Amino acid sequence: MSCVKINKSVGDATIRNGYITHVALSTIISLALIMIVYLVGISTVFAKDEELSSEVQVDILMKAAIMDIEAERWIGAVESLEKATKLGVKLPGEFHFLYGKALFKTGSYEHALSSLTNYLTLSGRDGEFYEKAITLVVGAENKQKEKMRLRSELKHQQAESASQTEYGMVLIQGGCFDMGDIFDTGADDEKPVHTVCVSDFYLGNTEVTQKQWKDIVGDNPSKFKCDDCPVERVSWHDVQGFIKKLNKKTGMHYRLPTEAEWEYAARSGGGKEQWAGTNNNKMIGEYAWYGSTSGGRTHAVAGKTPNRIGLYDMMGNVWEWCSDIYDSEYYEHSPSKDPWARRNIEGSNRVIRGGGWRSNAKSLRTTDRNKFAPISKKFSDIGFRLARTP
């Protein structure tokens, strides 16, 4: 009797173990099937995403942007809304408000104004976000004005700093002007008159003096010895050596002005000035040391009246080297933006401008062009002034 009971217990255990194994296997198989269905479903969704209409994609991107805005994730909101702008569909008024708000919060005030203005145009006073949009517009305008004010102050400070510490450098605001013989009194190489635009640049308010040269190079090649007189008898290549040493010492990037920059500055920012500071040939002596006033030598810089933007001796005292290679026909094919004749031709003449202490009135004209060999240093009426890109 007891043996029968034992065998029955063993059988019951075997049945239970088999049942548990069956249930476990069924569960694993079910989970695997669920995962397969899930993964297939996800793939299908992604595949369908590519087929969504542009309007639906805009709606999805706007909802994502709203969530970012609520969480103050402004850059994320801007990125989502920027994607929407590339879908090529008409965007609702709400979109422009959201985009303007997000741009405002990221500091893009100019673009924020544009987007908010679009919202107000589309939605008018009845728009849901009208009051908030007006508040943001006022804020963006104030921020933009403050930004411009700070930028202007910075430029002014830079100009003052340059004026005090960088060999009297003056910030010249760039612009466009008609370069060349605008008075029809010049030579063929001053023609044709052509429109040129120059970028902002710094220019020395005086020619480089003998003291400044000696401080960097150590010697003084000038004929007329005088610390405050312009350095002269320096070749174009000598000047390049001086600039290289000066830049190494100061960490700055000084250079010679281009011919276009020089003329623009001599004409007080591209104005119609036949001579630097005046159109009256009887007043040249007030602005320049030249053949009729110099007494046969150079004089201390800044001894005459400056032109209208504060530059001294832009005519007379010494001719001034420019960075350009001289080309008598350059004006016929000159680019309009920041032209600089710099063809790499060995031995080519370089441009000199402005006239010197022995020049006549014709050579002092702001549009007059002259040339000289870059290796020559024998003349006591050729010097230079420095320029620098901001």
Given a cut of 80, whether residue 272 has pLDDT beyond it is: yes
Residue 154 is predicted with a pLDDT of 67
What tokens were used for 82?
Answer: 């920027």
d(CA 250, CA 258) in angstroms, rounded, equals 22
Q: Helix 130-165 and helix 93-105: axis angle, to 10°?
A: 40
Lowest-confidence segment of 3-7, 344-348, 377-381 by average pLDDT = 3-7
Q: What is the pLDDT of residue 346?
A: 54
Lowest mean pLDDT among 106-120, 131-145, 157-171, 266-280: 157-171
Give the Cα separation of 69 and 100 in Å (integer): 12
Q: Give the pLDDT of residue 153.
A: 76
Residue 344: is its pLDDT beyond 70?
no
For position 161, what pLDDT does the model report? 47
The Cα 133–Cα 146 span in angstroms is 20
Q: Range with the lowest mean pLDDT among 18-22, 220-224, 354-358?
A: 18-22
Helices (H), 71-108: 74-85, 93-105
Tokens of 200: 């902002």
pLDDT exceeding 90 applies to what percent of the chain? 69
- Segment (H or E) for 55: helix 54-70
Which CATH code of 1.10.3720.10, 1.25.40.10, 3.90.1150.10, 3.40.50.1000 fits the domain covering 54-156? 1.25.40.10
CB 228 within 8 A of CB 214: no
| 375 half-sphere exposure, CB direction, 13 A CA radius | 3
Neighbours of 269 (CB within 10 A): 17
pLDDT at 167 over 70: no
Best mean pLDDT range from 60-64, 83-87, 318-322:
318-322
Per DSSP, 238 falls in state H
- CB 274 within 8 Å of CB 365: yes
User: Does the pLDDT value for residue 3 go beyond 50?
Assistant: no
How many angstroms separate the Cα of 272 from the Cα of each of 136, 218, 260, 288, 366? 45, 40, 15, 18, 9
- At 229-249, the pLDDT tens digits run 999 999 999 999 999 999 999
User: Parallel, antiparallel, or unpaired for β 382-383 and 319-325?
Assistant: parallel
Lowest model confidence (mean pLDDT) among 171-185, 269-283, 329-343:
329-343
pLDDT for residue 1: 40
Mean pLDDT (whole number) for 136-164: 73
Query: For the chain, which residues make up each domain, given as ranges?
Result: 54-156, 166-388
Q: What confidence category does residue 21 fall into, taking pLDDT thresholds of 50, 70 and 90?
A: low
Q: Give, for 65, the enclosing helix (H) or strand (E).
A: helix 54-70
- What is the rounded average pLDDT for all residues in the chain? 86
CATH number for domain 166-388, candidates 3.90.1580.10, 2.60.120.380, 3.40.1710.10, 3.40.50.300: 3.90.1580.10
**What Rg value do the Cα atoms of the chain yield, rounded?**
38
Q: Read off the pLDDT of residues 25-61 as tens digits, 9 standing for 90 and up.
A: 555 555 554 444 344 443 343 344 457 899 999 899 9
Name residue 372's beta-bridge partners: 350
Asked whether residue 9 carries a pLDDT value surpassing 80, the answer given is no
pLDDT in tens, 278-320: 999 999 999 999 999 999 999 999 999 999 999 999 999 999 9
Residue type, 202: Y
Distance, in Å, from the CA atom of 318 to the CA atom of 244, rounded to the nearest integer, reads: 22
Residue, of 155 and 367, whose pLDDT is higher: 367
SS3 helix, strand, coil % of the chain, rounded to 5? 50, 10, 40
Contacts 24+ apart (CB under 8 A), 289-292: 289/313, 289/316, 289/317, 289/357, 290/315, 290/316, 290/355, 290/356, 290/357, 290/358, 290/359, 290/360, 290/361, 290/364, 291/357, 291/358, 291/359, 291/360
Band of the pLDDT at 151, cuts 50, 70, 90? confident
What pLDDT is stored for residue 145 in this prediction?
Answer: 86
